[in-house]
Chain A
Amino acid sequence: MTLEKKRRKAVVDRSACVACGCCVKVCPLQAIQIVRGITAQVDTETCVGCGRCAKECPASVIEIREVEA
């Protein structure tokens, strides 16, 4: 039997992101940043999928998804 590890991560819909930076301010791990004024980008190594950014995002373009670790 293989153990499948699933982790929760924030995923940004980049095409709809307005790059306002609200998510950056609430991330407790500084795992999300605005790249060159275009979109937010999640550092998947650091993100633990707590969902604070998704809750804060005024455009609601961040989703918490289960991904294979």
Chain B
Amino acid sequence: MKKHWYDYLWIASLLYLLLGFFNILFAWLGLLCFFIPLLISVFGGTKGYCNRYCGRGQLFGLLGGRFGLSRRKDIPRWMKSKAFRYGFLIFFFVMFFLMLWNTYLVFAGAQDLKQAVTLLWTFQLPWHWAYHGTLFHPGVAQFAFGFYSVMLTSTLLGLVTMVLFKPRSWCVYCPMGTMTQLICKAKNGTNP
């Protein structure tokens, strides 16, 4: 099948994770992975982002597929249940708002900048080498650390389920995927 430019977006996803290792401010670019799918679903009424442009999905597909880093077993039934998918979406939302709250506290001067990346919402990894000061408020960097934490955590979860189940198992419970599907259902009616 003919390859398109968007079939190479996995490179962008990989680059994103690498850039955040050197300068955390690049984490802001991750907002694209939030807004583009939402805009496509709100205005286009499709999951065009998942279907075509998601670099992360492509990366999992490549690692689990071509590189064979996947057991290719069926995902457990509970992981594809609506309860888990919606529950994970809500959990993700709550953690995201908590991250925004921490950013706000730094902006407001009530809290100092924490130069750390939080993995799995629990483990603080030192990440000071990726911060070189900024022309902007430290709050800008706090958001970057927080956002990079979200991206790294979800990549890690995706990698684990890629190895355990099928390459793109992450797509089953990806909060963005669940959210854009809900938007499409609301926009188009539940029956296609």
Binding site for B on A (CB under 8 A): 14, 16, 18-22, 24, 34-39, 41, 55-61
C-alpha gap A22/B169 in the complex (Å): 10
A25 to chain B, nearest CB (A): 8
Chain A interface, >50% SS class: loop
C-alpha gap A33/B152 in the complex (Å): 31
Question: Are B184's CB and A37's CB within 8 A?
Answer: yes
List the 6 closest pairs (A to B, CB-CB), nearest first. Answer: A37-B184, A21-B51, A20-B171, A37-B47, A35-B192, A36-B188
State which of B107-115, B134-142, B160-168 sits at the interface with chain A.
B160-168
A68 to chain B, nearest CB (A): 24
With an 8 A cutoff between CB atoms, is B177 at the interface? yes
Q: Given contacts A18-B80, A18-B181, A21-B50, are A37 and B171 in contact (CB under 8 A)?
A: no
A43 to chain B, nearest CB (A): 13
Q: Given contacts A20-B50, A38-B181, are A59 and B45 in contact (CB under 8 A)?
A: no
A-B CB pair tally, cutoff 8 Å:
82
Our pick among B46, B177, B187, B192 for the contact of A20 (Cβ within 8 Å) is B177
Question: Are A18's CB and B184's CB within 8 A?
Answer: no
Question: Are B51's CB and A38's CB within 8 A?
Answer: no
Binding site for A on B (CB under 8 A): 41, 45-48, 50-52, 57, 61, 72, 74-75, 80, 85, 165-172, 177-178, 180-181, 183-185, 187-188, 190, 192
C-alpha gap A57/B80 in the complex (Å): 12
Residue in B closest to A39 when the chains form the complex, CB atoms: B192
CB-defined contacts of A56 to chain B, threshold 8 Å: 166
Question: Are A22's CB and B61's CB within 8 A?
Answer: yes
**With A55-B72, A58-B168 given, can you name 6 additional A-B contacts, CB distance below 8 Å?**
A19-B47, A21-B50, A21-B52, A22-B61, A22-B168, A59-B75
A38 to chain B, nearest CB (A): 5
Question: Are A24's CB and B192's CB within 8 A?
Answer: no
Our pick among B75, B167, B184 for the contact of A38 (Cβ within 8 Å) is B184
B128 to chain A, nearest CB (A): 37
C-alpha gap A19/B41 in the complex (Å): 12
C-alpha gap A4/B75 in the complex (Å): 36
